[in-house]
Each structure stands twice: as structure tokens, then as C-alpha cells.
Amino acid sequence: MSVSSPLPSPAPATTAPAPTQAELLDFARRTAADAELVASLPLDPEGRTWIRLEGPGGSEAWLIGWPPGSGTGWHDHADSVGAFVTAAGELTEHALAARLPTDGWRTLELSDGVDRDRRLPTGKGRAFGRHHVHEVLNESAELHAVSVHAYYPPLPQIRRYSRSGPILRLEQVERPEDWQ
């Protein structure tokens, strides 16, 4: 009779912990300070340009160029947390300081006092949580802006909204295949 020893157990899979909002913001700051990378982004006077970057811990990251007067429109990043930092120029963020329902609505009336505005000159940025509704703008009439953005998990979808006064309307849901 032969005795065989059991096969060794496979090593447990090692998965890196998800990056935190602070880690995403730190990555965006360090990347925005890379003058050579920022200068490598081709700028277009007619529309935004971008380069996909390797973000920390499996996050999705982008270097984005903003021509004068351009913006994102109102949107959120669904279940992703994120951060962005202005690498050149200045961006403005208009955001809602309110948690919105994630499903089952098309139109909402916003309460007074939910609007928040931030000016983000070169080197400044911010982190944000899941379902953060905002729009980002380059309000300059003459100068391009450049920024670094990072999201985790990689964007499963973006919900786009229109806004008229206190009325926020869900207009469209985009999936990664729509923008990659």
C-alpha cells in the first residue's frame, strides 16, 4: 500500500486593497506635478483631449485637456469614488451637497442650499465619494486647462443630467464602451 502526501494548498490569491479617496487624490497630485507628462497632452481648441493613465490599485485614471469655455455638463460616476487635480490653468466645479437616490427617478426638485462651487487653480483638487453629482468647467475665455482624474472602481457608468434651476433631470446613462 502506498501513502501519498496531500498536494500543497495553493497560495491564497493576493489582492491589493482598493485605493482610498486620499490615495486617488495623492496620485492625481503627483501626476499633475509631472510637467513633462502634462506637456505631452495634445491640446485641441475645439474639444477636450485625453490620455488614459495607469492609476493606483487598479483604478482608472485620465489626463484631460480642456479648451477655453469647455465643460462636462452635470454628471456622476455611479458607484466609483474619485479625485481630480488641476495640472495647468484653472477649473471650476459646481457640485450638489446632497445624496440623491441612485435608481427609480427621472426628475428631482433640489432643495435650497445644496449647491457648492469650487475654483481649482493649478495644483488644487479634490476627492469625492460615490454618486457625487457635479459639473467641471474651464471658464477661461483664452487659456486651456489640464487636469488629472482617478476613479475606483473603474467607471461602470456615468449618468448625465440636465439642470434648470432646482430641477435635475436624468438624461442618459453611458457605459465604458461609449467613451473608450
Domains in the chain (CATH in brackets) are 21-179 (2.60.120.10)
Return the SS3 of 57: helix
Question: What string of pLDDT tens digits covers the 180 residues of the chain?
Answer: 333 334 444 444 556 789 999 999 999 999 999 999 999 999 999 999 999 999 999 999 999 999 999 999 999 998 999 999 999 999 999 999 988 877 788 999 999 999 999 999 999 999 999 989 999 999 999 999 999 999 999 988 999 999 999 999 999 999 888 766
Instruction: Provide the Cα torsion 119, 122, 126, 132; round to 10°.
Output: 60
Q: How far is CA 180 from the centre of its chain?
A: 14
Cα–Cα distance between 180 and 161 in angstroms, integer? 20
Cα–Cα distance between 102 and 128 in angstroms, integer? 16
Contacts for 26 with CB less than 8 Å, ≥ 6 apart: none
Residue (of 49, 85, 87) closest to 65 by Cα position: 49
DSSP 8-state secondary structure symbol assigned to residue 87: E
